[in-house]
Amino acid sequence: MFVNLPLSWIARDKRWFRLFIERRINPEFGMDTVAVQDLPESWHRETAAMLRAEGLACGVHLPFFDLHPGSFNDAILAASRETLRRAAALASLYAPHHMIGHVSWDGSQHGADAARWLERSAGTWEGVLAVSEARLCLENTHERSPEHLRRVVDALPVERAGICFDVGHWFSFAGGIARDDLDRWLDAFAPRLSHLHLHDNDGSGDQHLGLGAGRIPLAAFFEGLERRGVKPSATLEPHDEVAFEQSLAWMRARPEVMTLLG
């Protein structure tokens, strides 16, 4: 089990890193814009060495702000690819269990030529895999349906890439609260499902509440994983300490859920 922690937070306040070490929490580091552009490689090497010395594992969430991995604009595509490759190279210093990426499909922009978008997106992620040995897990964000993400992952080697299912994004951004189509998403993702992002919301937005503090049908979600025989690894994604404690309490009260995770 991992818990999200932006690297820029550590650079700003070492208290966050100390908290994870003291509580023996495996971080999923957010390799955000600050971490890629402003923090030198030496800082990343030192942080990675401290993590190794503590015997903790980690994941790395690649940057996504302002990036378009399947862009039809050549200049934007080149900048996105350069940023993601640099981030993946820095991520490799941490020897991560996995890397997370966003495909950023937008039907209003890309729907007119989905095949071209798929080719460009797959090329971007192939470049990321070329500079890191970590498993790449591509995550649903604002996509309203699961198919385009699945097609990108299917274009990548099965031994190197999989899907990260963010159940909070499904419930809010994809309209899961109204569509009640969890089985559709699980059916689409299960054959390539590698990782989960776990948080809660009330359906009105991506609130990153603690598990059980929103309206996501978590029992049905985990039952769906069990029925399909998949055991992905997982990251808790609270955005504050209250949500973190709520999620931990929810998980501890349901030890059977932990048996469903890899």
Give the pLDDT confidence of 180-203 residue by residue, as tens digits: 999 999 999 999 999 999 999 999
pLDDT-based confidence at 233, cuts 50/70/90?
Answer: very high
At residue 33, the 3 state secondary structure works out as helix
pTM for the predicted model, two decimal places: 0.97
Residue 119: phi, psi to the nearest 5? -60, -45
Q: Which domain holds residue 49?
A: 2-258
As a whole number, mean pLDDT of residues 225-235 equals 98
Count of the separate structural domains present in the chain: 1
Q: What is the DSSP letter of 111?
A: G
Q: Indicate which CATH number applies to the domain containing 233.
A: 3.20.20.150
Cα–Cα distance between 43 and 41 in angstroms, integer?
A: 5
